[in-house]
């Protein structure tokens, strides 16, 4: 890792400013070569950059000299805040590229170095990736909490407690080696510690899901044909995403439409109207798909007879409330996709339900990888708690420590890391 890397870290030119970052042992020398001097560390200063090859002026830029290891990558770093024109950036990059031991960074390479130097753990890296991808304010807040290390600190606390418990278990094992009276007190304390830790870890098993936060809360509209599902979908997402007609069986396939409402990402799914008898083979497949969609749903909007609701927690919608045909004492939310009656109440209900599935203010959400890690740790703690033999208990605690190392990336496999970092843009 002795190579020095550089890349444009701000957006694609042309832009007001283009920030070129340099990281590695030659960062200071590169800055010196371009600006003719090394600025005071961590103080912004203006300089005319010249091409070291021929002395020709390149741009007037704001410079930052950030000696390591207290930098984002853990290495010496330089930042050149240039004018963000295409030719300016190209010229500065060409001058850097001509210097010995300097090369362009690959995607995510700055972050990878930060990780390698222990400046970020795997969870903070994932938080950063999510922050860069965040489109809703909720996604941004949860990603920031993850990047800021709120989850990592929690894991660190677990690690300390686990180490203490392991040390106690080893000590107790030493005692029993000496054929002494087994120390019932120490074993009881280990047992209590393991149980308490298992409880803390287990509490995170129900943490909000980052995938859900990213892809949207899955809302499925379901009910009999002609109930008005497609009309309601179109109204919710604000465009004619699904075909509406007075022919029963209009919708056959699932129609998925992502939409952000009130800063929350939703994924709405319109489905084929449910009926027992259909002579249409395609419609029958559609009905199967509708049932599968309902099973995977976070929220079901049920536009059918309440007694036939597919799940107890389905939101009952008394649709087409503007039509006199329907009696007023129908249970459920009276709603007309035509007049808009009840729409506000429906949106409020959706946001309310979504709120219970998503991270609260300042909370993070967990990816499948993280959830799997927490689950593995939890299982080892449960096994340790159930162990009747100190040797087995100590072994389960050791496996628990391994699970923690996998969670933080200390025991990560290279290809998993490759995949993660290559998802970043160049310059990050």
Ligand X SMILES: Nc1nc2c(ncn2[C@@H]2O[C@H](COP(=O)(O)OP(=O)(O)OP(=O)(O)O)[C@@H](O)[C@H]2O)c(=O)[nH]1
- Is there binding between residue 250 and K ion (CB under 5 A)? yes
Binding to ligand X in span 240-279, by CB under 6 A: 244-246, 248-251, 273
- Is there binding between residue 228 and ligand X (CB under 6 A)? yes
Whether the CB-CB separation of 261 and 217 falls below 8 Å is answered with no
- Among residues 9 and 250, whose Cβ is nearest to K ion? 250
Within a 13 Å sphere around the CA of 45, how many CA atoms are in the beta-carbon half? 16
- Is there binding between residue 230 and Mg ion (CB under 5 A)? yes
- Among residues 152 and 230, whose Cβ is nearest to Mg ion? 230
- Is there binding between residue 226 and K ion (CB under 5 A)? yes
- What is the distance between the alpha carbons of residues 243 and 249, in angstroms, rounded to a whole number? 11
- Among residues 152 and 226, whose Cβ is nearest to K ion? 226
Token code pair at residue 4: 């020095």
> Which conformational region is residue 427 in: left (phi greater than 0), alpha (psi within -120 to 50 degrees), or beta?
left
> Which conformational region is residue 238 in: left (phi greater than 0), alpha (psi within -120 to 50 degrees), or beta?
left
Helix segments in 37-178, DSSP class H: 86-97, 109-116, 122-133, 137-147, 150-177
404 is annotated as contributing to ligand binding: no
Residue 199: enclosing H or E segment and its boundaries? helix 184-203
Residue 336-355 contact track with ligand X, rule CB under 6 A, x = bound: xxx-----------------
Which of 136, 209, 251, 269 touches Mg ion by CB under 5 A? Answer: 251
> Among ligand X, Mg ion, K ion, none, what binds residue 127 when CB lies within 5 to 8 Å by partner kind?
none
Which of 166, 231, 264, 408 touches ligand X by CB under 6 A? Answer: 231
Which of 320, 364, 387, 394 touches ligand X by CB under 6 A? Answer: 320
> Among Mg ion, K ion, ligand X, none, what binds residue 361 when CB lies within 5 to 8 Å by partner kind?
none
> Among ligand X, K ion, Mg ion, none, what binds residue 111 when CB lies within 5 to 8 Å by partner kind?
none
Helix segments in 311-342, DSSP class H: none
CA distances from 43 to 35, 74, 94, 209 (A): 14, 18, 25, 41
Which of 225, 310, 409, 427 touches ligand X by CB under 6 A? Answer: 225
On the question of a cis peptide bond just before residue 101, with omega within 30 degrees of 0, the verdict is no
Whether the CB-CB separation of 109 and 22 falls below 8 Å is answered with no
**Selected range binding ligand X among 98-106, 159-167, 228-236, 403-411, rule: CB under 6 A:** 228-236
**Selected range binding K ion among 109-117, 204-212, 224-232, 289-297, rule: CB under 5 A:** 224-232
> Which 8-state DSSP code applies to residue 376?
H
Q: How many residues of this chain bind K ion (CB under 5 A)?
A: 2
Q: What angle do CA 175, 199, 356 make, to 5 degrees?
A: 170
Token code pair at residue 85: 């024109």
Q: What are phi and psi of 61, to 5 degrees?
A: -135, 160
- Is there binding between residue 224 and K ion (CB under 5 A)? no
Q: Name the site residues for K ion (rule: CB under 5 A).
A: 226, 250
In the annotated binding site, the residues are 21, 79, 119, 226-231, 245-251, 270-273, 336-338, 428
In the annotated binding site for K(+), the residues are 226, 245, 247, 250
In the annotated binding site for (6S)-5-formyl-5,6,7,8-tetrahydrofolate, the residues are 21, 79, 119, 428
């Amino acid at each position: 890792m002795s190579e020095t890397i550089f890349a444009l870290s701000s957006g694609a030119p042309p832009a007001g400013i283009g920030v070129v970052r340099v990281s590695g042992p030659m960062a200071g020398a590169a800055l010196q070569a371009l600006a003719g001097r090394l600025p005071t560390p961590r103080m912004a200063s203006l300089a005319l950059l010249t091409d070291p090859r021929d002395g020709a002026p390149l741009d007037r830029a704001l410079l930052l000299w950030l000696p390591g290891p207290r930098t984002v990558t853990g290495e010496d770093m330089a930042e050149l805040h240039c004018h963000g024109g295409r030719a300016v950036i190209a010229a500065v990059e060409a001058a850097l590229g001509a210097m010995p031991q300097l090369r362009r960074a690959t995607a995510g390479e700055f972050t990878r170095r930060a990780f390698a130097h222990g400046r970020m753990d795997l969870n903070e890296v994932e938080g950063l990736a999510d922050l860069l991808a965040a489109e809703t304010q909720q996604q941004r807040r949860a990603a920031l909490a993850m990047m800021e290390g709120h989850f990592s600190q929690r894991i660190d606390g677990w690690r300390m407690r686990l180490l203490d418990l392991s040390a106690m278990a080893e000590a107790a094992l030493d005692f029993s080696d000496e054929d002494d009276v087994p120390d019932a007190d120490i074993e009881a304390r280990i047992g209590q510690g393991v149980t308490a830790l298992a409880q803390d870890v287990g509490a995170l098993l129900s943490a909000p899901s980052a995938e859900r936060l990213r892809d949207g809360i899955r809302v499925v509209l379901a009910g009999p044909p002609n109930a008005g599902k497609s009309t309601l979908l179109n109204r919710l997402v604000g465009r004619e995403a699904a075909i509406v007609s007075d022919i029963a069986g209009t919708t056959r396939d699932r129609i998925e439409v992502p939409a952000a409402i009130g800063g929350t990402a939703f994924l709405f799914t319109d489905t084929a109207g449910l009926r027992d008898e259909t002579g249409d083979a395609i419609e029958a497949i559609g009905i199967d798909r509708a049932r599968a969609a309902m099973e995977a749903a976070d929220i079901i909007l049920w536009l059918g007879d309440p007694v036939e609701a597919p799940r107890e927690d389905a939101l009952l919608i008394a649709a087409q409330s503007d039509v006199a045909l329907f009696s007023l004492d129908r249970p459920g939310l009276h709603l007309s996709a035509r007049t808009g009656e009840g729409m506000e109440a429906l949106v409020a209900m959706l946001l309310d339900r979504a709120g219970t599935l998503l991270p609260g203010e300042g909370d993070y959400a967990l990816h499948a990888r993280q959830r799997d890690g927490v689950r593995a740790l939890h299982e080892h703690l449960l096994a340790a708690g159930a162990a009747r033999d100190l040797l087995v208990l100590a072994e389960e605690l050791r496996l628990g420590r391994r699970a923690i190392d996998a969670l933080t990336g200390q025991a990560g496999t290279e290809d998993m890391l490759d995949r993660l970092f290559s998802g970043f843009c160049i310059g990050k």
